[in-house]
Amino acid sequence: MIPINVRGILFLFTPFMLYLSYGIISKNSMAKEEYQMHTGIRHFLDTEYLNFPTRNHGEYRYLELEGYPYVFEIYEPNSEPIPQTIDNL
Q: Give the separation between CA 54 and CA 26, rounded to whole angstroms.
A: 32
What pLDDT, in 10s, does the model give residues 27-48? 888 888 887 888 888 888 888 8
Phi and psi for 40 in degrees, rounded to 5? 170, 180
Q: Are 45 and 88 in contact (CB under 8 A)?
A: no
Q: Give the separation between CA 78 and CA 7, rounded to whole angstroms.
A: 45
What pLDDT is recorded for position 18?
A: 93
3-state secondary structure of 32: helix
pLDDT < 70 regions, the chain? 1-3, 78-85, 89
